[in-house]
Structure 1
Amino acid sequence: MTTTDKREAFLAGERLEDVALFLADSYVSDDRLEQFGERIDDGVLIVVDGERGRNAFKAATGTGAMEFAGSAMGTEGVVDGDLTGGTCPEAAGSEAEDEDHHTQFVFAFAEEQNEEVGGLYADGDVIHAYAQCECGTAYSDRWTLEE
């Protein structure tokens, strides 16, 4: 399965045991990453099994994946549906127009539909996505795969 196929399968809810990582070239530049993922214009997107993905995330960022997710949960933002960027909540109404708000990295996982929990989880499989902005803001987004 190609890396593009893995991303499409992940976004379709067919790889619930995997995680997705996007690492921007401006954050980490390592040509070896391309052998594990898909080259995107400004970075690499990797879809791998959960344990390997969490280890790769820690190696690339120096932070544990779930610790990062926990810190990003408190700030809602918009992560692109293709997992390769987002809109930092600090960018909206920012007085410092020259301040950069480029996504440095994204960590995402999918959770299976769970009607018992209700809410968003009753509507379908849910993507949880967490992003780090160049300005230092960590933020989160989530959506059902049916959206």
Structure 2
Amino acid sequence: MTDREAFLAGDRPDDVAVFLHEAAVSNPEALESYAESVEDGVVLVLPGEDGRSAFQSATDIDPMALAQEAMDTEGHIDDDLTGGTCPVAADDHDEDHTVRFVFAFAEAQNEDVGGLYAEGDVIHAYAVCACGERYSEKWVADTVDRQ
């Protein structure tokens, strides 16, 4: 099981996952020894503070500010964290809507909160699109059939 698979299964709740599209970083090859190479970039799974710092260093975006900005705009983020569907893409066919960055963390199951949180650990994912849109999605960890 890869680090990313363990994270998505809810087995690494203290870590964060970061996707960096190859077009959004100047030297993605430099990250390959620390990251999992994927079709369009790399995914890093790192301890919480290290991951937040790495995301900010690579993107110049504060991950907690991203979460605040993106949480009110719902979109679709791929189950493997390597892409998504920008919520403005359906209305804007002229612009590039490739996901440039994804930042994700897990929150432990909390039956007292109810809803999604009562069902299991919850993955919170935040994406930055090439068009500038920032959006989010959350789902129960290790749930493939989410809609």
**TM above 0.5:** yes
The equivalences for 1:61-80 within 5 A come to 61-80=59-78
Q: Residue 126 of structure 2 corresponds to which residue in structure 1?
A: 130
What is the alpha-carbon distance in structure 2 between the residues aligned to residue 27 and residue 65 of structure 1? 16
Deviation of the 1:146 alpha carbon: 4.8
Question: Structure 1 length as normaliser, TM-score?
Answer: 0.93
Which stretch of the first structure deviates more once superposed, 31-40 or 123-132? 31-40
For residues 27-42 of structure 1, the aligned pairs below 5 Å read: 27-30=24-27, 31-42=29-40
Instruction: Report the counterpart of residue 80 of structure 2 in structure 1.
Output: 82
The offset of 1:118, in angstroms, is 0.5
CA RMSD of aligned residues (A): 1.1
58, 61, 74: which is aligned to 1:60? 58
| Residue number among 11, 15, 19 corresponding to 1:14 in the alignment | 11
Question: 2:65 corresponds to which letter in structure 1?
Answer: E
Give distance in 1, aligned partners of 2:38 and 2:141.
22
User: 1:98 Cα shift?
Assistant: 2.7
How far residue 63 of structure 1 moved from its aligned partner, in angstroms, is: 1.6
- Offset from partner CA, 1:21-45 (integer Å, 9 cap, x none): 0000111131211111011111000
Structure 2, unmatched stretches of 5+, are none
Return 5+ residue gaps in structure 1 as ranges. none
Aligned with 1:8: secondary structure? helix
What CA distance in whole angstroms lies between the structure 1 residues aligned with 2:89 and 2:74?
13
TM-score, with structure 2 as normaliser: 0.93
Q: Which amino acid aligns with 2:13?
A: L
How far apart are 1:6 and its partner, in Å? Answer: 0.7
Percent same amino acid among aligned pairs? 58
Moved over 2 A (4+): none
Q: Is the 8 A contact 2:8 2:142 kept in 1?
A: no
